Amino acid sequence: MITRSAPGVHTGNQQTVSDSWQMQLANCVTQPEELLEILGLDPSFLPAAISASKTFAMRIPRSYIARMEYSNPNDPLLKQVLPLEQELREVAGFGIDPLGEKDKNPTEGVIHKYHGRLLLITSGACAVNCRFCFRRHFPYQDNQLSGRHLEEALNYIKNDDSIREVILSGGDPLAASDRRLQQLTEALADIPHVKVLRIHSRLPIVLPDRVTDDMLDWLGSTRLKTVIVLHCNHANEINGNVRAAIARLKQTGATVLNQAVLLRNVNDSVDALVELSETLFDAGAMPYYLHLLDKVQGAAHFDISRESAQDLVRGMMQRCSGYLVPKLVQEIAGKTSKTIIPLSE
């Protein structure tokens, strides 16, 4: 066991964490009372946090909490994970399946929306329950990718030679064990027309100890071209441990990208977005997509207008080299690809 104290956190807020990522995952903070106590926050937040967490559970790794500023209710990391009363309000235009995935779910654990690639729901678990998650209402219990369902999913891929890329998603695919991920990767590599393995994960950001030697072994030994798409929304999420995890991922030969979501009162300023891109690049990850919020029920308070998003990206272009400006995109149900938002209309 090791004791770590976090920069920016009150010196009394120390935590003991295990070297094992699995133990850290099991030891996440799941009760609003404990979160408020750790961060010295006003107890008035508690009733709403308890109510909102009943409809979508709170789950936060302690190492992620340690990056938050003590006694600051406006901390940009806290705002991504603290349940709020606004989540309980029904807002027109926000639903439980904002991307129309129910209609693109041909067999358990498979989402096939776009030509040439599909997504496997590799795990229904996450290390952190982000309050804006577009799959917060997803029926994971009906999409368990194991046993017969895994065999059916692999056969689906084998029978469609247009599929060149398989995306591991969830939940978070890296919440699964390395043994299971290695077996799945080897099975995909045995399908000749599959060329690219893409992994969408937030774990290297919120729980960087997940990047283990065992993970690097299977990730670096596949014949498939590998792409890791991280999900980081604010520069404060990137500390020394995250930098080390990204560096280790890159040592396998993987391409490391980042996709972020525009979130009101989290990263909705040019300063925040420029700092995010510059910090990502310095850590070894390329800015890739900047998403407009998926209109999922419970997340309307994070929403930013399309016009405001365009203004923000135009502001980034004035201050950043082009390779640091992510594509502004929106995912619209029924479309054949993500929609790139033009900056002049």
Confidence bin at 345 (pLDDT 50/70/90): low
DSSP string, 253-282: T-EEEEEEE--TTTT-SHHHHHHHHHHHHH
Q: Give me the mean pLDDT over the 169-188 stretch.
A: 95
What amino acid occupies position 64?
Answer: Y
User: How far from the centroid of its chain's Cα atoms is residue 57's Cα?
Assistant: 16
Does residue 12 register a pLDDT over 80? no
Does residue 9 register a pLDDT over 90? no
Distance between CA atoms of 213 and 245, rounded to whole angstroms?
11
Q: What percent of the chain has pLDDT over 70?
A: 92
Q: What is the pLDDT of residue 246?
A: 98
Does residue 98 register a pLDDT over 90? no
Beta bridge partners of 286: 257
- What pTM was estimated for this model as a whole? 0.91
Q: Give me the mean pLDDT over the 285-297 stretch.
A: 95
For the record, the structure tokens of 15 come out as 């935590």
DSSP string, 311-339: HHHHHHHHHS-GGGSPEEEE--TT-SSPE
Q: What is the pLDDT of residue 7?
A: 35
Q: Are 122 and 173 within 8 A, CB to CB?
A: yes
Q: How many CA within 13 A on the CB side of residue 116? A: 5
Does residue 8 register a pLDDT over 50? no
Distance between CA atoms of 33 and 214, rounded to whole angstroms?
36
Distance between CA atoms of 189 and 100, rounded to whole angstroms?
29
Residue 320 phi, psi dihedral angles, 5° rounding: -120, 155
Q: Are 112 and 104 within 8 A, CB to CB?
A: yes
Q: What percent of the chain has pLDDT over 90?
A: 79
Confidence bin at 140 (pLDDT 50/70/90): low
Tokens 């999409």 sit at which residue? 143
pLDDT digits (tens, 9 = 90+) for 200-256: 999 999 999 999 999 999 999 999 999 999 999 999 999 999 999 999 999 999 999
Q: Pairing relation of β-strands 110-114 and 165-170?
A: unpaired
Does residue 146 register a pLDDT over 90? no
Distance between CA atoms of 290 and 262, rounded to whole angstroms?
7
**DSSP state, residue 292:** P
Beta bridge partners of 110: 120
SS3 of residue 116 by DSSP: coil
Cβ count near 158 (within 10 Å): 15
